[in-house]
Structure 1
């Protein structure tokens, strides 16, 4: 994995103590209404700003000076472990850089889960 990769090579599971620490924020996560274009439906998820401090450092990109940057793109297992709950098919595709606590999700219009 590149030092500046936008996504971990493999999902990084949370340790029990990390999951316990993040659980307190679950009820404060805000979900937008869905919106769409011709190909995808979208939504954004707003994490409490304080929650960012409790997320493991491996979920973040590093700045050139070694300090913690914005969140990486998260695998489904990772964002679900943070307490984000939504139906199947959503992909974390971007972080809103000016507001790093806002995660952008998309999925194909008329998504049907595998049978």
Structure 2
């Protein structure tokens, strides 16, 4: 289940302060699933309020699919999604494009801080 990096922006596209302000009202309504896992990864899905999609910059969307691109960590954190370290946005649930799927290796250990 490797990431299709062509579905991401070439580099993270930070939000402007005005864009962040527009998204702030939605942060409290973001829903985080319980974690679930297989033998390799733990997973969770993050459900954004549907109306939040209208406030997200168009550069975050994949025009061909009509869904969000795969977001860099800087991008999804900028939207107000808060999770511990190591999570990677790997898929959008296309029938419900406001649901973002995340994964990280089981027993993930963040790099040591020096």
For 1:6, the equivalent position in structure 2 comes to 7
Q: Tell me which residue corresponds to 1:74.
A: 71
- Determine the C-alpha separation between the residues in 1 that align with 2:62 and 2:110: 31
Write the distance in 1 (CA, Å) between the matches of 2:88 and 2:66: 21
Following TM superposition, by how much is the alpha carbon of 1:69 offset from its aligned partner in structure 2, in angstroms?
Answer: 1.1
Alignment of 1:92 onto 2:92:
no
Pairwise CA RMSD of aligned residues?
Answer: 0.9
TM-score (norm 1): 0.91
Q: Unaligned regions of 5+ residues in structure 1, if any?
A: none
Structure 1 stretches of 4+ with a deviation exceeding 2 A read: none
Q: Distance in 2 between matches of 1:16 and 1:104?
A: 26
- The CA distance in 2 between the partners of 1:30 and 1:72, in whole Å, is 19
* Structure 2: segments with no counterpart, 5+ residues: 1-5
Using structure 2 for the length normalisation, give the TM-score: 0.92
Residue deviations 1:31-69, cap 9 Å, x none? Answer: 000000000000000000000000000000113xxxx81
